[in-house]
Structure 1
Amino acid sequence: MEPLLPVSNGRCGRWRDHRQVVNGVLYRIRTGVQWRDLPERYGPWKTVHERHRRWSAGGTWKVLLRRVQAKADAAGDIDWDISVDSTSVRAHHQAAGARQAPPPVRKGGFPGGQSRSDPGRTDRSAGGGEALGRSRGGFTTKIHLSADGGCRVLSLVITPGQYADCTQFEPVIDKIPVPRLTTGRPRTKPDSVSADKGYPNRRSRRYLRRRGIQHVIPEKADQAANRVRRGKTGGRPPGFDEDRYKKRNTVERAINKLKAFRAVATRFHKRGYVYLGTATVAALVIWLRS
């Protein structure tokens, strides 16, 4: 990880050891304690919190996750029969009330040629705001994700809790690119995609057909009845592989692994990009453990 982490620019005073800070971030995400309650062995809690906040804004955690995925792909360890789903996360009342301000600029250098003008560096939450909304579950944030056959997260998108799953299907698939360790374009096309009845709209199917991706998405009863009622103009029923659909539980298991981290299972962060960074760190740990 060290070559991918930012370096001091010499103007920020003493630069605390990355290992100590990363361990503090991992401890907090796993236990869900308040930042002020971090054990002293991780150094000043403000340093740990600030480093996590800046690395979430600058995309450092995302770069690390992509590198781990690239190594797994190079070793042939990724099952590209992926599944897509979402999960709602209850937001604590302390997550509300954030000021409308842009994310901070990260201190230090930008590894791998990354620049401050990179449009993908902040990875802001979809829908604007701080990805907080009202749903039947109350004050919530929704995590949309894709997972490979090994129950590991490939991509993450966060939205307010009332957003429908189907509206974020394309953004989740578009965020899958896994870079190559050598030369070549990143891999962006899975072998197949499976999803539940929250995604069977025409737009999602057209998107997959346009990219030549096989899919297993069940048809809703009302959609099937409408197709039959239209007769020949209704078209043919979409293909459905029951055996392949049984593997969709991999994304459910990936969600369970992700929510085993207490800072992900309940949202306390006011800023959406910081919470997305927290979920990214949890996904990174899951990949490293595998």
Structure 2
Amino acid sequence: MGHGDLTNEEWRRLERHLPLYGRRGGRWASHRRVINGILFRERTGIPWRDLPERFGRWKTIYERHRRWSADGTWDRILQAVQADADAEGQIDWSMVGVDSTSCRAHQHAAGARRKSPRIPKKEPRPAAHRPDEGLGRSWGGLTSKIHLAGEGGRRPLALLVTPGQWGDAPQMIPELERVRVARKGEGSPRTRPGHLRADKAYSSRRNRRYLRRRHIKHTVPEPKDQRANRQRRGSRGGRPAGFDKEKYKRRNEVERTIDRLKSFRAVATRYDKRAYVFHGTVTVAAIRLWLRP
């Protein structure tokens, strides 16, 4: 076992959620070695061709990562690992935070062909398949943005990749809609946090109506311009938004979750051309965080 590879305990928790057979009925081989190769690339950000020989053929490692990103396998594994953690009482639902971070795109991440990935017709197309490839252009160059919903234990509950210039507020509802942690045994998946905290970028009438409709308590500061507009409208402007300073202090938890994700160099800098592959790369990093004790 090399530095950064899965430990025996982490492998035991992960192995039962891995698919045994591929699309053509052939049995997958050497899962542990291949996943350790994927994790090595996640940590270092090196090109796939430069992977050490101890992980096997680089083409095998890349193709498995690409296929599992395309058909949603990594997303299903993340949900399964989250369900295990929830059954053990390791998820802090009392305080969930949402935030985003920008990732600079490497020059090799641009120039993807205008061609859809090969996905079986019976398989649903994950939301990560974007025609814009999740790339946005600004003064700093090409960027992507990762929108994140994280629990109190500094681990991701849901992820969303968009172009870098997209705003935060419109993505809050899609983020929360992707939070689905299955329960062991009977019962519908857990989708509603006990309390939500976010910075003022997420303050909008649409978001607050959504949270009230779902009966989600929230701590979101109101920007000065929104407060002035509400006061100018008088009674038609509605009641002031509630704000708890003590609960808002825990907003740093989601920021620290983002820091843990971006400790993987392949997440901090986007090297993948396709949005669905980069989404898979971020999801693998999230799985790694859930496997750690």
TM-score by length of 2: 0.90
Letter in 2 for 1:166: A
- Alpha-carbon distance in 2 for matches of 1:279, 1:10: 24
1:29 is the counterpart of 2:42: yes
Letter in 1 for 2:79: R
**What does residue 164 of structure 1 align with?**
167
**What does residue 111 of structure 2 align with?**
97
Letter in 2 for 1:123: A
**What does residue 207 of structure 1 align with?**
210
- Alpha-carbon distance in 1 for matches of 2:28, 2:154: 36
Q: Bigger CA drift: 272-281 or 222-231?
A: 222-231
- Alpha-carbon distance in 2 for matches of 1:118, 1:44: 28
Within 5 A, what are the aligned runs for 1:258-277? 258-277=261-280
**What does residue 113 of structure 1 align with?**
none
Structure 1 residue 13: deviation in Å?
7.2
Contact kept, 8 Å, 1:191 with 1:213, in 2: the verdict is yes
1:75 is the counterpart of 2:88: yes
> CA separation of 1:63/1:222 partners in 2, compared to 1, >3 Å: closer, same or farther?
same
Aligned identity (percent) is 57
**What does residue 42 of structure 1 align with?**
55
> CA separation of 1:149/1:125 partners in 2, compared to 1, >3 Å: closer, same or farther?
farther
Partner-residue secondary structure (3-state), 1:198: helix
Letter in 1 for 2:247: R
Within 5 A, what are the aligned runs for 1:221-236? 221-236=224-239
Count the aligned residue pairs.
Answer: 279
- Alpha-carbon distance in 2 for matches of 1:45, 1:151: 32
Letter in 1 for 2:50: D
Partner-residue secondary structure (3-state), 2:19: coil
Partner-residue secondary structure (3-state), 1:122: coil
Partner-residue secondary structure (3-state), 2:166: coil
Letter in 1 for 2:82: Q
- Alpha-carbon distance in 2 for matches of 1:11, 1:206: 47
- Alpha-carbon distance in 2 for matches of 1:136, 1:217: 29
**What does residue 122 of structure 2 align with?**
117
**What does residue 150 of structure 1 align with?**
153
Deviation string for 1:50-101 (max 9, x for gaps)? Answer: 0000011111111111111111111221111100000000001111111122
Structure 1 residue 149: deviation in Å?
0.4
1:280 is the counterpart of 2:293: no
- Alpha-carbon distance in 1 for matches of 2:217, 2:137: 34
Within 5 A, what are the aligned runs for 1:178-189? 178-189=181-192
- Alpha-carbon distance in 2 for matches of 1:89, 1:252: 14
Contact kept, 8 Å, 1:57 with 1:123, in 2: the verdict is no
Partner-residue secondary structure (3-state), 2:152: coil
- Alpha-carbon distance in 1 for matches of 2:274, 2:52: 24
Contact kept, 8 Å, 1:103 with 1:122, in 2: the verdict is no
TM-score by length of 1: 0.91
Structure 1 residue 272: deviation in Å?
0.3
Partner-residue secondary structure (3-state), 2:97: strand
**What does residue 85 of structure 1 align with?**
99
- Alpha-carbon distance in 2 for matches of 1:123, 1:229: 40
- Where in structure 1 do 4 or more consecutive aligned residues deviate above 4 Å? 9-15
Letter in 2 for 1:58: D
- Given candidates 33, 51, 75, the residue that maps to 2:64 is 51
- Alpha-carbon distance in 1 for matches of 2:104, 2:245: 33
Q: Bigger CA drift: 279-288 or 224-233?
A: 224-233
